[in-house]
Amino acid sequence: MKFVDEYRDAGVAQGYARAIARQVTRPWTIMEICGGQTHTIVKYGVDTLLPKSLTLVHGPGCPVCVTPIELIDKAVEIASRPDVIFCSFGDMLRVPGTTHDLLTVKARGGDVRIVYSPLDTVRIAKEHPDKQIVFFAVGFETTAPANAMAVAQARREGLANFSLLVSHVLVPPAMEAILSSPRNRVQGFLAAGHVCAVMGYQEYEPIAAKYRVPIVVTGFEPVDVFQGIAMCVAQLESGRAEVENQYARSVRREGNRPAQQLIREVFRVVRRRWRGVGEIPESGLGLSDAYADFDAERRFGPAASGSDHTSECQSGLVLQGVLKPNECPAFGTRCTPERPLGAPMVSSEGACAAYYRYRRMRDADTAAVEPRS
């Protein structure tokens, strides 16, 4: 299949691995932002083909993982109401709240539905005028345009029974938070290609300049990731700190302007607490004043401020690249996909889920094993 097979070519990937090995002269640490890239790296053993002095750490790009506990608790509360049909992407259902998750609400009789597009929820709202339809709008800039489109359509159709519980997050403020942390060890980034397909990469240029870090916009196939790493290493070795675009087949510097316009119309930038990480200024999206009537927190009451301190989950350290998933003491023992302590173990983009699925029985520094299923 064009644009897939050539990016999974083992020979090309090994060629990049050899080129990287020739380039590296000293230790470097590179973070891939996106959970999809993490899964590619772990599934295909990309990191096992790199020189030992080159460390890949996994970033905060799993939106399910960073959704704050107070919004999970609010989702559970709203979904438990008899007058509500609560719609969500499937990943969110098993994310633990303070006492239980959305799947438990569903098992107890709550009308919790998995949808594949936010526009499905608009249809459900039209079909059930006697119910309140709430969609859990979670995601980075990638999913914001589709969610904005759903709200705009609901308003056009005069659907007073439709609302969004919004937990959108933005990538650049999270990168700055990581780079500003005293524990930071990231020296270069692979930026998330799909986020940049929407937003472009102009907003990364001041970050690269301010923190002197190379940022390479990178795709999701193994060859994409190898090439992104090679470009990042080339910059590190030569002392450059620029934004480069490996994913040129999908990303333009200016991004998708109509999608950005839609985001600006429907959302506004807000402070957001990231689960396990803490509050990051201007790191989220909330509904703009023009769409405030569709805000589920206005309709059902605001989420209470939460705390992650009761959990032994160390997802905050995993999401900041400080800890590898299999360095968490609970990994694979007290925390498994069947009994998760944290969202990274159940999200399809979670780093802990990737390690459990693809390399549960090995240490981070030994050879890769075949996928378990």
User: Which residues in 124-183 contact ligand SF4 (CB under 6 A)?
Assistant: none
The one segment of 73-81, 97-105, 207-215, 340-348 that binds ligand SF4 by CB under 6 A: 340-348
Which residue type, as a one-letter code, is found at position 198? V
- Cβ atoms < 10 Å from Cβ of 146: 15
For position 214 contacting ligand SF4 by CB under 6 A, the verdict is no
Q: Calculate the CA 333 to chain-centre distance.
A: 25
112 - beta bridge partners? 86
The one segment of 6-14, 238-246, 295-303, 336-344 that binds ligand SF4 by CB under 6 A: 336-344
Closer to ligand SF4 by Cβ: residue 56 or 328: 328
123 - beta bridge partners? none
Do residues 303 and 284 lie in contact, with contact meaning Cβ atoms separated by under 8 Å?
no
For position 319 contacting ligand SF4 by CB under 6 A, the verdict is no
Contact with ligand SF4 (CB under 6 A) among 137, 144, 251, 345? 345
Contact with ligand SF4 (CB under 6 A) among 122, 148, 232, 335? 335
Do residues 239 and 187 lie in contact, with contact meaning Cβ atoms separated by under 8 Å?
no
Closer to ligand SF4 by Cβ: residue 8 or 360: 360
Backbone angles phi, psi at 227, to 5 degrees: -65, -40
Measured torsion, CA atoms of residues 43, 45, 47, 51, in degrees rounded to the nearest 10: -170
Nearest to 30 by CA among 232, 316, 241: 232
User: Which residues in 284-313 contact ligand SF4 (CB under 6 A)?
Assistant: 313
Beta strands 111-114 and 84-88: pairing type? parallel
For position 96 contacting ligand SF4 by CB under 6 A, the verdict is no
User: Which residues in 226-285 contact ligand SF4 (CB under 6 A)?
Assistant: none
| Residue whose token pair is 């992104």 | 228
Shortest reach from residue 322's CB to ligand SF4, in Å: 11
Shortest reach from residue 314's CB to ligand SF4, in Å: 4
Shortest reach from residue 345's CB to ligand SF4, in Å: 4
Shortest reach from residue 336's CB to ligand SF4, in Å: 8
The contact mask relative to ligand SF4 for 39-58 (x = CB under 6 A, - = no) is --------------------
Q: DSSP 3-state assignment of 373? A: coil
274 - beta bridge partners? 278
Q: Sort 179 into a burial class: Cβ within 10 Å, 0-12 / 13-18 / 19+.
A: middle
Shortest reach from residue 181's CB to ligand SF4, in Å: 17
Concatenating the DSSP letter of every residue in 55-81 gives EEEEEEE-HHHHS-HHHHHHHHHHHTS
Shortest reach from residue 124's CB to ligand SF4, in Å: 31
Closer to ligand SF4 by Cβ: residue 104 or 246: 104
For position 66 contacting ligand SF4 by CB under 6 A, the verdict is no
Q: Which run of H or E residues covers position 139?
A: strand 132-139
Residue numbers of the site for ligand SF4 (CB under 6 A)? 313-315, 318, 325, 328, 330-331, 335, 341-342, 344-345, 352
